Every structure is written in C-alpha cells, then in structure tokens.
Amino acid sequence: MNYRHAYHAGGPADVVKHAVLARILVHLKNKPAAFRVIDTHAGAGLYDLCGPEATRSPEWRDGIARLLPAPMTDKARALLSPYLDVVRALNPGGELATYPGSPVLVRAMLRSQDRLIACELEPGAAAALVHNLGRDRRTKAVEIDGWTALNAYVPPPERRGAVLVDPPFEAADEFSRLAQAVETAHRKWATGIFLLWYPLKGRQESDALARRLRRSAIPKVLRAEVDFATAREPGRLAGCGLIAVNPPWTLADEMETLLSLFAGIFAGAQRVDWIARGE
C-alpha cells in the first residue's frame, strides 16, 4: 500500500516514527553546538484529525488515541515525554483534534541556534507546509523532490544533525532507492544521523534493504520493526520499520523500551536488532 501522510496522521506508524525521532532530537540537544534536521519528505506538517483524509482513514484512533491514556512504566513515560508534550500542546483542551507531522514536531524541539529544512514536492502539501511552519527563522520549507534534497543538503553547515527519510513508497523501486540514497549521503556526511522509515508490506523488501545495508561500508546501523494488529484488515498498514544510521549510543535500549510498549498497545510484535555494529 502507499503511505500518504495525511491519511495515516497519528496512526501507529506515526507514533513509532515520531517517538524515536524525538529521542534523537533529545540526544542532539545534549550538546550546546547547533544542529540541523533535514526532513526529506515532510508532508504538510500539521494534520486535522477531523479533516477528510483523517476521517476517511482514522488510524489515529488506533495510534495516538490509544497511546495517550495507556498505562506505562516511569521509564517509558520519561522517554515519550518530549514527543507527547508536543502533541498535548497542540490539543490544550485534552480532546485530540490536531496531530503534528515531523516538521512541526521538530520545530517544537529546536533551540534558537538549531535549524530545520523541510522538503515537500506535492504542491498542495508544500503550500500547507509553508503555512504551518510560519515565519520561524529557524525553519525553511522547500518545494523540492526529497531524493534530490537528500543529496543537495548533505552535509549541512552545522556538521551536526539528523536526516529523516520518510518517502510515500508509491514507486516499486523505493526500497532500493532508499538504500542507495543513504549510502551516498553517508559517504558525504559520515557523522550524520539518518533515520529511515519504511512500511512493512512483507518480508522480502525489508530484508533486502537490511542485506544491502549490511554489505555497505556503513559501520553502525540499528533496526526496529513493529507489527500492528490492523494487519488483519485489508488495506491497512501491517507494520513499520525504522533504520537508524549512526544512532545515539542509548537509542537501542530506548527503542527496546518503547517498542515493547507499542507492541502491547497495538497488539503486535516487535524487534530491535543491529544490522551492522562497528566498534
């Protein structure tokens, strides 16, 4: 299935992706030096959960709406706090009506010295992205193909930061393109953090992606995957995976905690493992 941001806003896949992205931003903020985030397929940045797309595919009811009231350990609650604080700030009345895409989530966590480049090619989403980011001088919305942006904006001037690659997977070759793009980008910026998202539509594509990255020269590659109970429903996203290149040193343990919680809430299965672990 194709993954379009607006139709899946706040769903289980967004919860997984954004919780881990927030942890990476927390680690980047632990040092005073500025960093830059490059969001290659940013979408509109902000989503109305009562709008036509979210109403047509109300995955948020199985995602963020289940997570917010869920019982959890103190450790999990602390790890999720940076992400959930942003969600709650957008819904001050307590009733879920708005969900942040990755650009708005990142913007909320930037310091004055940090920067965001958010890229979106689809004209309607690109216009919405410009509006939703506003005139914040720390952010820049660019109407550009995400694959082109990945090559053009790496490495950033700050030399610290992260790249989120979250394509819609509308093309048959998107998995192989993902692997090739991150290999090329890593050669240009070997110290950057890259977070790659992909849908779980079957084992063939995701396993081939892992094998290619294992054969690459990239020394540190961490994988996390979670299956969703909605896999039993035709047309619903079966699960998702994340690959972190150059992950912060505590991220593997944090992923274990978070994905164990998510697997329980979303009635699925989870795994966290190293594709490559250079010393």
Residues of the chain where predicted confidence (pLDDT) is lower than 70: 1-5, 54-57, 230-236, 279
Nearest to 22 by CA among 89, 102, 99: 102
Q: What span, in angstroms and rounded, lies between the C-alpha atoms of 41 and 21?
A: 14
User: 5-277, what's its fold?
Assistant: Rossmann fold (3.40.50)
Q: What is the pLDDT of residue 253?
A: 97
Domain boundaries, the chain: 5-277
Q: What is the pLDDT of residue 200?
A: 87
Q: What is the pLDDT of residue 207?
A: 92
Q: What is the pLDDT of residue 68?
A: 96
Please give the sequence-ordered ranges of beta strands (E in DSSP) within 135-261, or none if there are none. 139-142, 161-165, 193-199, 220-227, 239-245
Q: What is the pLDDT of residue 2?
A: 46
Burial class (CB in 10 A: 0-12, 13-18, 19+), 112: exposed
Catalytic residue among 14, 62, 166, 227: 166
Answer yes or no: 166 catalytic: yes
Q: What is the pLDDT of residue 46?
A: 96
